[in-house]
Amino acid sequence: MVWGTTIAAYLFLAGLSAGAFLTSSYISRKYPKAVTVRMTGRFISPVLMGIGLLLLIVDAEAGLKNPLRFIYLFTNFSSVMTIGTYFISFFMLAGFYVALMELLKKDVNKWIEYIGVVFAIGTAMYTGFLIGVIGTVPLWNTAILPILFVVSALSTGIAGTLLVSGIVNKQVVHLVTSVKKIHLSLLAVEVFLIFTMFLITSTSNEAAAESVASLVYGEYSMIFWIVLVAVGLLLPIIVESLELINDRKMSQTNEGLQVAAAGSHSIVGTLVTEMSVLIGGFTLRFLILAAAVPIAFL
């Protein structure tokens, strides 16, 4: 099986979709007045998941020619793909339901939303387990990878939700301060997980060392250091930190002026931060797939 750009896009969109759903669920409870952010997360989640699945179906040409292969995905319970298929299916159902209720301006059944949260987390983890079960590729076959993909899914989910929300209403993204703090923490954790995974994996065998070397100083080093590390991680960490400092100063103003102060913020910081995170999220998955070197058997 060839794991190319299309699969990287699928993994990225699946994680982003799950993260957007989780972000909207958190917003609905923590910031009930941040309607724009909540609605954005709930609307983009099923749409992005649908696009990701479409890419996967198009990429699986043999499946289009032989539909029984897709049916097999639901019946082979010894396969991680089958488990993931159920995760995604239940998550999609819950996501579409929540989005529909939001569109119809009706109350969302909390139990269905809770089920959606569980399967959103499962979907985010599955994107890491999907490639992690391939034991012949040591860069993928590590316990850290599913955790890394979950953290990245949450980060890109927040980024996608805030980016669209900021375009619709630039004031509201500066009022969900705890979300921005969580986002900053996730980015820092992501940096730690990436380099920890590289450190542990590179010492396991020759194939693993080659994979890490191609990323750190080899074929993919320019993309890794410039696009992923600099643009996708360090830039948003710096900008998000500066915005949080600025938000804190604004919050220390008179209570009656706080909303007006939030409205005076520029949307530029949000655009830069969230777009950079999305670029980094896709690049992470592309590099993990592209740089993987399988174990050579004699």
Model confidence pLDDT, tens digit, residues 175-228: 888 999 999 999 999 999 999 999 998 887 888 899 999 999 999 999 999 999
User: Residue 3: what pLDDT?
Assistant: 66
- Give the mean model confidence (pLDDT) for residues 59-84: 63
Q: Convert the pLDDT of each residue in 229-242 to its tens digit.
A: 999 999 999 999 98
**Residues present in the chain in total:** 298
CA-nearest of 177, 161, 115 to 277 is 161
Angle, vertex CA 275, rays to CA 84 and CA 98, nearest 5: 45
258 pLDDT more than 50: no
User: Residue 77: what pLDDT?
Assistant: 60
Q: Convert the pLDDT of each residue in 142-174 to its tens digit.
A: 889 999 999 999 999 999 999 999 999 888 887
How far is residue 246's CA from residue 269's CA, in Å, rounded to a whole number? Answer: 11
- In whole angstroms, how far apart are CA 174 and each of 34, 265, 279? 10, 8, 22
25 pLDDT more than 90: yes
- In whole angstroms, how far apart are CA 38 and each of 117, 141, 152, 247? 14, 36, 20, 21
251 pLDDT more than 70: no
The structure tokens listed for 203 are: 């010492």
Q: Look up the CATH number of domain 5-290.
A: 1.20.1630.10
